[in-house]
């Protein structure tokens, strides 16, 4: 043992890679079921009316969103942190027993949290706040998990050999701080057992039940400040952290402009927090706040495109790699989808566009071209890059990866195009009226018209899930392969045929 | 002037301040090109490219000082 050279220790990274894949399958499978429930309502009772409580849309919907956000994406963030963090700080987890313990504790408490979330949401226990459905005991557990994540980040930074923090580390730190602040403030809640009703009743409701500390419009404002910034600090900031490491590393190209990465970082931090108001356009929040939400959303194009263009320009002169490597394809298309959805979002946040887009399927389409095309592609690419280095085996199949890429790309395209058409159709039909101001259509008219697009969306989602299963299989075969690689490749990941 | 008006002016002033700071930072980055210790900012890209545990850090942190 004494003579063994020091190596990076990926124990915790591997654990989170596993949950990334498992929770990804769960979240996406539920998503596909939901899509078909919308297209074919009989799917709501597919397991019979006795179990309808557990299979209907409204019970499953938070399980889909939370499994994808807090399961798949968070696991991906943790897995890549425990990989990238060590490498850019040039320090191994093996060098600190304490950090290794914290890392493992972080993982196992996270698993406990996931189990509690799955059970409680299936049982219908929810605060009814979107993406913040967990009741107070789970919130407390999540805070503990998050603090452990923070201890891992700052602990590793504390024993580093590289004095400067690579740009990805900045983004991981911002993820930690951003989510901590958002989660704490949006989940300020009062357990009803502590409340007293005007009639003098005490200990109202179940012990786990709570109500938000904010009321009415204030609650909505805090909720969407949280909701939109969960997108910022869950789906954007940590994914940018990943691409700033994995694309240069896999392609062997230095970041096109490190300076641009720094100012994009501060731009993103400065602007993103103010954009949440665009979720509340034409609602009861003050008009200036709505306008501010719109303006900041439009300004947000600049820092977002700063990062995305920086990544695309990193490939300057090396575009043959995009053709040659499916792994690079995932990242370049991911970056392109990031540009695309960060242009689409600001357009939707403009008040006049929002008058048509709000509450329609166009919004759902927007979320999914971002999450499927950007977040999903980037996390899978990161895991593909990590696999040969973590398992010390070459990636099982390059052709399978290429097939997965095209299947999923087709899935994403079918998803967002169908939702564009559905959303704009919906928006136009809802507001259509005759010369006397009578509405031209009833709600059910829109439902009838949208049916084919809902079916296409279901097929798009299914294709993405199929691609994800191919990904899971590819990683599994890599893990269990006997094709060991002797020395770690500096750049391009080794791939079997 | 009531508290709402005051906070609106305060918010505007803060926004202007942060914009000035951000643009100042951009100006600083692109005119100086190097940080206070003389490292070209672009060298920091190498932290990802040369990330073996044995690679030489771009800016080594002396561990002896800690002990």
Q: How far does A73 lie from chain B, in Å, by closest CA? A: 22
The torsion of the CA quartet A74, A347, A340, A19, rounded to 10 degrees, works out to: 10
Q: What pLDDT does B19 receive? A: 87
Q: What is the distance between the alpha carbons of residues A96 and A106, in angstroms, rounded to a whole number?
A: 15
DSSP structure string for A125-182: -----TT----HHHHHHHHHHHHHHHHHHHHHHHT-SBSSPPHHHHHHHHHHHHHHHH
> Which residues does chain B have within 8 Å of residue A87's beta carbon, measured at their own beta carbons?
48, 51
pLDDT band for B67, please (50, 70, 90 cuts).
Answer: very low
Q: What pLDDT does A484 receive? A: 86
Q: Mean pLDDT, to the nearest integer, of A426-448?
A: 95
Compute the 3-state secondary structure of chain B and give helix, strand, coil in percent, each to the nearest 5.
Answer: 60, 5, 35
Q: Mean pLDDT, to the nearest integer, of A238-264?
A: 96
Q: What pLDDT does B63 receive? A: 59
> Which residues does chain B have within 8 Å of residue A164's beta carbon, measured at their own beta carbons?
39, 44, 47, 58-59
| Neighbouring residues of B65: CB distance < 8 A, sequence distance ≥ 6 | none
> Which residues does chain B have within 8 Å of residue A316's beta carbon, measured at their own beta carbons?
none
CB-closest option in B8, B48, B55 to A166: B48
Instruction: Give the residue extent of every domain in chain B.
Output: 3-49
CB contact (8 A) between residue A88 and residue B29: no
Residue A382 · residue A452 · CB < 8 Å: no
Say if residue A2's pLDDT is above 60. Answer: no
CB contact (8 A) between residue A167 and residue B46: no
Q: Mean pLDDT, to the nearest integer, of A275-297?
A: 92
Q: How far does B34 lie from chain A, in Å, by closest CA? A: 10
Say if residue B64's pLDDT is above 60. Answer: no
| Closest alpha carbon within chain B to A8 | B53
Question: pLDDT tens across A127-178, in order?
Answer: 999 999 999 999 999 999 999 999 999 999 999 999 999 999 999 999 999 9
CB contact (8 A) between residue A248 and residue B53: no
Question: pLDDT tens across A309-341, in order?
Answer: 999 999 999 999 999 999 999 999 999 999 999
Interchain CB contact of A316 with B (< 8 Å): no
Q: Which of residues 167-206 of A touch B (CB under 8 A)?
A: 167-168
| Closest alpha carbon within chain A to B66 | A159
pLDDT band for A3, please (50, 70, 90 cuts).
Answer: low
The neighbouring-strand residues paired with B40 are B34
> Which residues does chain B have within 8 Å of residue A91's beta carbon, measured at their own beta carbons?
53
pLDDT band for A438, please (50, 70, 90 cuts).
Answer: very high
Give the count of Cβ contacts less than 8 A between chain A and B. Answer: 81
Question: pLDDT tens across A366-410, in order?
Answer: 999 999 999 999 999 999 999 999 999 999 999 999 999 999 999
Question: pLDDT tens across A398-425, in order?
Answer: 999 999 999 999 999 999 999 999 999 9
Q: Distance between alpha carbon A36 and the CA centroid of its chain, in Å?
A: 22
C-alpha separations of A297 from A47, A355, B19 in Å: 43, 16, 16
> Where is pLDDT greater, at A288 or A11?
A11
DSSP 8-state code for residue A409: H
Q: Mean pLDDT, to the nearest integer, of A281-302?
A: 92
> Which residues does chain A have within 8 Å of residue B45's beta carbon, measured at their own beta carbons?
248, 254-255, 258
Length of chain A: 497
| Closest alpha carbon within chain B to A314 | B45
Q: What is the distance between the alpha carbons of residues A334 and A374, in angstroms, rounded to a whole number?
A: 4
Q: What is the distance between the alpha carbons of residues A489 and B47, in angstroms, rounded to a whole number?
A: 16
CB contact (8 A) between residue A164 and residue B59: yes
* pLDDT, chain A, mean: 95
CB-CB neighbours of A33 under 10 Å: 20
> Where is pLDDT greater, at A487 or A422?
A422
pLDDT band for B66, please (50, 70, 90 cuts).
Answer: very low
Q: What pLDDT does B65 receive? A: 46
C-alpha separations of A258 from A113, A263, A490, B43 in Å: 37, 9, 20, 8
| Closest alpha carbon within chain B to A91 | B53
Say if residue A53's pLDDT is above 90. Answer: yes
> Which residues does chain A have within 8 Å of residue B48's beta carbon, measured at their own beta carbons?
87-88, 166, 168, 244-245, 248-249, 255
pLDDT band for B1, please (50, 70, 90 cuts).
Answer: confident
Q: What pLDDT does A201 receive? A: 85
> Which residues does chain B have within 8 Å of residue A7's beta carbon, measured at their own beta carbons?
53
> Which residues does chain B have within 8 Å of residue A85's beta carbon, measured at their own beta carbons?
none
- What percentage of residues in chain A have a pLDDT greater than 90? 89
> Where is pLDDT greater, at A251 or A289?
A251
Task: Report the complex ipTM.
Answer: 0.84
Q: How far does A328 lie from chain B, in Å, by closest CA? A: 16
Residues A227, A231, A236: CA angle, nearest 5 degrees: 160
Q: Mean pLDDT, to the nearest integer, of A33-55?
A: 95
CB contact (8 A) between residue A92 and residue B53: yes
């Amino acid at each position: 043992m004494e003579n063994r050279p020091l190596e990076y220790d990926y124990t915790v990274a591997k654990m989170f890679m596993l949950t990334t894949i498992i929770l990804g399958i769960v979240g996406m499978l539920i998503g596909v079921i939901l899509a078909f429930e919308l297209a074919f309502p009989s799917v709501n009772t597919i397991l019979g009316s006795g179990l309808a409580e557990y299979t209907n849309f409204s019970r499953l919907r938070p399980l889909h969103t939370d499994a994808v956000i807090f399961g798949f994406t968070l696991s991906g963030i943790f897995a890549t942190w425990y990989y990238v963090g060590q490498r850019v700080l040039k320090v191994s987890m093996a060098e600190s027993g304490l950090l290794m313990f914290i890392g493992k504790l972080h993982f196992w408490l996270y698993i406990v949290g996931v189990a509690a979330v799955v059970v409680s949401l299936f049982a219908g226990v929810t605060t009814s706040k979107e993406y913040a459905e967990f009741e107070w005991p789970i919130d407390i557990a999540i805070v503990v998990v998050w603090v452990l994540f923070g201890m891992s980040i700052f602990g590793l930074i504390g024993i580093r050999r590289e004095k400067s923090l690579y740009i990805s580390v900045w983004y991981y730190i911002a993820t930690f701080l951003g989510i901590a602040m958002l989660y704490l403030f949006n989940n300020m809640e009062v357990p009803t057992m502590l409340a007293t009703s005007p009639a003098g009743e005490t200990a109202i409701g179940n012990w786990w039940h709570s109500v938000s500390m904010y009321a009415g419009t204030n609650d909505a404002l805090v909720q969407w400040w949280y909701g939109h910034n969960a997108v910022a600090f869950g789906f954007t900031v940590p994914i940018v952290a990943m691409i700033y490491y994995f694309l240069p590393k896999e392609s062997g190209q230095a970041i096109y402009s490190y300076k641009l990465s720094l100012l994009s970082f501060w731009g993103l931090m400065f602007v993103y927090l103010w954009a949440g108001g665009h979720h509340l356009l034409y609602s009861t929040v003050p008009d200036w706040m709505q306008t501010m939400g719109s303006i900041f959303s439009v300004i947000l194009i600049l820092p977002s495109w700063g990062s995305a263009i920086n990544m695309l320009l990193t490939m300057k002169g090396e575009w043959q790699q995009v053709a040659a490597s499916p792994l690079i394809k995932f990242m370049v298309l991911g970056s392109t989808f990031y540009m695309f959805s960060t242009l689409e979002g600001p357009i939707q946040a403009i008040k006049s566009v929002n008058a048509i887009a709000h509450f329609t399927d166009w919004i759902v389409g927007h979320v999914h071209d971002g999450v499927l095309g950007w977040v999903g592609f980037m996390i899978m690419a990161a895991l593909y890059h990590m696999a040969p280095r973590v398992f010390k085996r070459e990636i099982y199949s390059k052709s399978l990866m290429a097939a997965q890429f095209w299947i999923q790309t087709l899935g994403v395209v079918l998803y967002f195009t169908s939702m564009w058409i559905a959303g704009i159709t919906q928006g136009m039909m809802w507001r259509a009226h005759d010369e006397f101001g009578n509405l031209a259509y009833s709600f059910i008219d829109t439902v009838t018209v949208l049916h084919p697009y809902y079916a296409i969306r279901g097929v798009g989602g299914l294709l993405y899930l199929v691609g994800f299963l191919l990904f899971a299989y590819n990683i599994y075969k890599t893990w269990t392969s006997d094709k060991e690689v002797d020395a770690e490749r500096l750049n391009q990941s080794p791939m079997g045929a | 002037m009531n508290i709402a008006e005051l906070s609106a002016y305060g918010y505007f002033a803060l926004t202007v301040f942060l914009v000035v700071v951000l643009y100042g930072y951009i100006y600083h980055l692109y005119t100086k090109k190097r940080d206070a210790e003389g490292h070209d900012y672009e060298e920091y890209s190498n932290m990802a490219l040369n990330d073996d545990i044995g690679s030489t850090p771009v800016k080594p942190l002396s561990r002896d000082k800690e002990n």
